[in-house]
Amino acid sequence: MKRIIALAAIAAAVCSCGTANIVSHAPAKVGIVAHRGYWNCDQAGYAQNSVASLKAAQDAGFWGSEFDVQLTKDGVVVSNHDKEYGPEKMIIADYTYDELARYPLPNGEKLPTLDDYLIQGAKSSKTVLVLEFKKQRTDEATIMLVDKSMEILKRHGLYDPQRVIFISFSQVACERVISKHPQFEVQYLMGNMSSGKLKKKGYTGADYNAAFYTAEPGLIKNLHKKGLKANVWTVDSEKKMRKLNAHGIDQITTNNPMGARQVIGSREHRK
């Protein structure tokens, strides 16, 4: 009998260690966020922030597809990362949409407006739109970008916290969303706020550069303790992904989403 009790105790200890290990080091699911869409593939024609890159991310079934938005001179919300656009490096804020759209993306697509982008976005509920508001020249313009984008999301039936989350380096943009649209997830990109401060200001998570997670090994845990999500940009090395995954990251933003899929395996979060 004593032997049975001893074996049961050992088994319980082994099980509890195993479980503890899973809880502390391996979250249930990790979302892969394709950075600027799943752009570096034939299907997308290697064009970042293109509609085709969003479609490729949706077709691959990644949890999220990130893209950047900003305003043209005539107030059109367009999807583009850099402030400049086209072969002549036209400053987007200084040109009208029609002037900019004379130049196609590398895959031949027209410069996508947010409307163009969301027509594709609405076609799949399996991939979350991770919408980044680019900081505009003035706070007023940044607020206008947020407000216009929200109206456009509503027109496409995508004003939905299950379908869209927001990220930005701009506290003005983030805090506009937090105050006017508090049901949505908002992750801050800059990296200069503690988990406590993020929580206090109403953010739902941090989307920080990988260097911040390296510099502060307890950051993911600290975010989780506050009930915040931990997202990271932009991690393309599978070695780094493995490490962040082991430490409990919630989302990995990457230009190498297929590599991330290999690393994460069965714990990949798919909707």
Is residue 207 part of the contact set for Mg ion (CB under 5 A)?
no
Q: With respect to Mg ion, which residue has the nearer C-beta, 68 or 175?
A: 68
x/- contact string, 50-89, with Mg ion (CB under 5 A)? ------------------x---------------------
Rounded alpha-carbon distances, angstroms, from residue 84 to 53, 88, 145, 245: 20, 8, 17, 35
Shortest distance in whole angstroms from residue 75 CB to Mg ion:
21
Per-position b or e across 58-68, b if 16+ CB within 10 A of its CB: bebebbbbbbb
Size of the site for Mg ion (CB under 5 A): 2
Residue nearest to Mg ion (CB): 132
Residue 87: exposure state from Cβ atoms within 10 A (0-12, 13-18, ≥19): exposed
Q: What ranges make up the beta strands (E) of the chain?
A: 31-34, 64-71, 77-79, 84-85, 90-91, 128-133, 164-168, 186-188, 205-209, 229-233, 251-254
Interior angle at CA 127, CA 123 and CA 131, nearest 5: 95
Shortest distance in whole angstroms from residue 233 CB to Mg ion:
8
Q: Return the structure tokens found at 40.
A: 């570096």
Q: With respect to Mg ion, which residue has the nearer C-beta, 92 or 247?
A: 92
Q: With respect to Mg ion, which residue has the nearer C-beta, 199 or 253?
A: 253
Shortest distance in whole angstroms from residue 261 CB to Mg ion:
20
Shortest distance in whole angstroms from residue 169 CB to Mg ion:
9
Shortest distance in whole angstroms from residue 225 CB to Mg ion:
27
Is residue 132 part of the contact set for Mg ion (CB under 5 A)?
yes
Q: With respect to Mg ion, which residue has the nearer C-beta, 82 or 109?
A: 82
Dihedrals phi, psi of 173, to nearest 5 degrees: -65, -50
Shortest distance in whole angstroms from residue 193 CB to Mg ion:
18
Q: With respect to Mg ion, which residue has the nearer C-beta, 99 or 236?
A: 236
Q: With respect to Mg ion, which residue has the nearer C-beta, 68 or 185?
A: 68
Is residue 250 part of the contact set for Mg ion (CB under 5 A)?
no
Q: Are the beta carbons of 58 and 123 closer than 8 angstroms? A: yes
The residues of the shown chain that bind Mg ion, judged by CB under 5 A, are 68, 132
